[in-house]
Amino acid sequence: MVVSVVKQWAIHQMDVKNAFLHGELKETVYMKPPLGYCTDLQLWKQGVTILLFYVDDILITEDDIEGISRLQQLLSESFKMKDLGPLTYFLGLEVNRNSRGYFVNQQKYAADLVKLANLSDYKIVDTPLELNLKPSKDDGSPLEDTTLYRQLVGSLIYLTMTQSSIFYAVQIVSQFVSSPRQPCLSAVHWIIRYVRGTLPHGIFFSSSSPIHLMAYADADWAGCPDTDGPQLAGVSS
């Protein structure tokens, strides 16, 4: 998406209808190139097309809008496709485009997470973690059913894609997914109550930004109550 924003390319999305019904293979085929791949390699320099696949969901971006249409037609000749138009919603990501770039958030996804945790009526908090909270693997009683805890933490991890303010807090609670305890669940609920107050938040990809990969990391001093070692966190953008 960053490449598309900076180069100001259009992004279209498609969906393969009944994708799992197309398989007819009876033996292992590692690669079968379609006809036409023997053309001169110089033709590759005429344009760039980027496809993103997730199962049967597809994003197509290219420097030529007509090229996108040709590729959509080519895919439709082999599969039953549904053209979803310009990118607006993809795998829980809500995408809004203007002349300056793309704004991406997960408002609906986050709202569904609040409902899943049954915290819609709880008071919103101003921070992702309680002050001086340092959960330990021996604090409190073990949860009888760990399924919901793992589901909530997994959903929060996915939410960090557009809500970086919860990244450190989610990193803390994710350390206890193998054997969560009641204080850990309380910490997860606290994060979700914070998320409830930041539903519209997201990230903005500016078309004037350079394509640079940046990474940030930080560590404290002996902050882990279980190991007396440092607690680490990092993020890349």
Quick: pLDDT tens for 202-234: 999 888 877 777 787 777 766 666 665 666 666
The Cβ of residue 237 has, within 10 Å, a number of other Cβ atoms equal to 11
Kindly tell me the burial class for residue 28, based on how many C-beta atoms sit within 10 Å of its own C-beta (0-12, 13-18, 19 or more).
Answer: exposed
Query: Which residue has 């001093």 as its token pair?
Result: 221
73 φ, ψ to 5°? -65, -40
Instruction: Give me the residue spans of the domains in the chain.
Output: 2-91, 108-201
**Mean pLDDT, range 17-29, rounded to an integer:** 62
Quick: pLDDT tens for 94-136: 999 888 888 999 999 999 999 999 999 999 999 998 887 777 7
* Class for the domain spanning 2-91: alpha beta
CA 15: distance to chain centroid? 18
**Mean pLDDT, range 3-27, rounded to an integer:** 67
**Mean pLDDT, range 149-158, rounded to an integer:** 96
The Cα 120–Cα 144 span in angstroms is 24
DSSP tag of 142: B
3-state secondary structure of 105: strand
Quick: pLDDT tens for 31-90: 766 665 554 444 455 667 888 888 888 888 877 778 788 888 888 888 888 888 888 888
Residue-wise DSSP of 4-41:
HHHHT-EEEEEEETTGGG----SS--S--PPTTTTS-G
Q: How many CA atoms lie within 13 A of 226 on its CB side?
A: 10
